Amino acid sequence: MNLNNKKIIINDLKVKLSNLVKDSQSELPINIKNIKDMIDNHIFFINYIETNNIYEDYKWENMKLIYNKIKKKVNQDKKLYYKIVKIYGIVISYYSIDEYNNYNKIINELYNTNYDMKLEWEKIKKLHNLLINKRKNYIKNKNIVKINIKNIS
């Protein structure tokens, strides 16, 4: 590989890194907010069932769909972060001191945000599993009215 080809590859990787960082910086806060909203929805759903003795199956189905979408997005964000770190490791030695310091700061911020997202995701996973177990008990319980779309129409 000659020097010009190497420079082109490095510049392409720098551009790719920049684009991935921008994508990650814009997506992570949104995902954290979605996870927190999902936590609130799970808590509300549990409280609603326990206070009103009404279990709405269609709401549960909707929550499962949202949960699975968020799970997929969380996994994509983890992969994106690891891809950023991998590319950063390749091109780090080709940055000036200012670029190095800037990207080092950005990577650390992404790590912290990713870590926060992971903590929130662990909360929702535990809450979701709790709700799955409670759901089984709600369905068995004769004192709780089960409502689903078929009952409504």
Banded model confidence at residue 85, pLDDT cuts 50, 70, 90: very high
| Helix, strand, coil share (%) of the chain residues, nearest 5 | 90, 5, 5
Q: Is the pTM of this model over 0.85?
A: no
What pLDDT digit, counting tens, does each position of 129-153 carry?
888 888 787 777 766 666 666 544 4
pLDDT band at 5 (very low <50, low <70, confident <90, very high): confident
| Residue-wise burial string across 18-28, b where 16 or more C-beta atoms lie within 10 A, e elsewhere | eebbeebeebb
The SS3 call for residue 26 is helix
Residue 105 pLDDT exceeds 80: yes
- Residues with Cβ within 8 Å of residue 11, at least 6 apart in sequence: none
CB of 148 within 8 A of CB of 62?
A: no
96-101: long-range contacts at Cβ-Cβ below 8 A with a sequence spacing of 24 or more?
none
Per the listing, tokens 């994508």 go with 23
**Residue 141 identity:** N
User: How many structural domains are present in the chain?
Assistant: 1
What's the pLDDT tens digit per position in 7-55? 899 999 999 999 999 999 998 899 999 999 999 998 888 888 778 777 7
CA distance 42 to 61: 12
What is the residue range of 16's domain?
A: 3-152
Q: Quick one: pLDDT at residue 1?
A: 64
Task: Measure the CA–CA gap between 139 and 65, rounded to whole angstroms.
Answer: 20
Query: For the chain, give me the number of helices (H) and strands (E)?
Result: 4, 2
